[in-house]
Amino acid sequence: MNKRPKIIENYRNFEPPPKFRDTIDELVRYTPEEFLTGLQSIVLTNRAILNHDEKRQKTWSRNRKIRLAAALGYYTEAAKSAGASIVLYVDNLTDGSDNWVARLPLLRYLLAGDILYHEIGHHIHAAHRPVHKGKEDVAEYWSGKLLWRFVRKRYWYLSPAIYATAKTMKFVKRIRRTFSRTRD
């Protein structure tokens, strides 16, 4: 049985970047099915689709309210009448990113995957693995975990380079700490 959510595109006067839907589909395919159970749909849209009241509506983000039209996406928990869903505002997601980012597959996946996996993290927290911690902290944890899993499985051949870079960054951080202590 396929537990993957349906990906729906609904835009008004907007042309998404090439292969954006394929990118989202690929990211979802690499997500363990157990975490997608109960997630009915992922809606790809733009803020022009929002009516006047929805544009003024606010949502919580890291202990502050932001306008829904300024958000990158949001998660809606399941109700009696409908399953859980994720909405991604593609225009907000791709706003400010250069065209060359969309041409490089790894960067394209990282850009879209960060917010998609964050919202899937909200679903995991609400439906599968509730943790008594801040909702945003839990979503960020799952975002990092799922994104790293995707990179490890999809770009397995980059593992040595990623490992070497991580070790180098850790070494540089340790040296900086050492030198900052000696100056004090």
The dihedral formed by the CA atoms of 108, 3, 14 and 100, expressed in degrees to the nearest 10: 10
Q: Structurally, how many domains does the chain consist of?
A: 1
Residue 169 within any structural domain of the chain: no
Mean pLDDT, residues 126-149 taken together: 87
pLDDT digits (tens, 9 = 90+) for 36-88: 999 999 999 998 898 888 888 887 776 788 888 888 999 988 888 888 999 99
> What values do phi and psi take at 39, rounded to 5?
-90, 110
Distance CA 72, CA 20 (A): 15
In DSSP terms, 56 is beta-bridged to none
Residue 168 within any structural domain of the chain: no
Residue 54 within any structural domain of the chain: yes
**Least confident segment among 23-32, 108-117, 155-164:** 155-164
- Residue 43 pLDDT: 95
Residue 184 within any structural domain of the chain: no
Distance between start and end Cα atoms, the chain: 61
pLDDT digits (tens, 9 = 90+) for 10-31: 999 988 888 899 999 999 999 9
Mean pLDDT, residues 128-150 taken together: 87
Residue 179 within any structural domain of the chain: no
Distance CA 38, CA 172 (A): 43
Per the rule left: phi > 0, alpha: psi between -120 and 50, beta: everything else, 100 is: alpha
Alpha helix stretches (DSSP H) within the chain: 20-29, 33-36, 52-56, 90-94, 99-103, 105-123, 135-154, 159-183
Residue 178 within any structural domain of the chain: no
Residue 57 within any structural domain of the chain: yes
| More confident: 12 or 98 | 12
Q: 130: pLDDT confidence band, cut at 50, 70 and 90?
A: confident
Any idea what the CATH number is for the domain that residue 120 is in?
Answer: 3.40.390
Residue 164 within any structural domain of the chain: no
Domain limits for position 52: 6-158
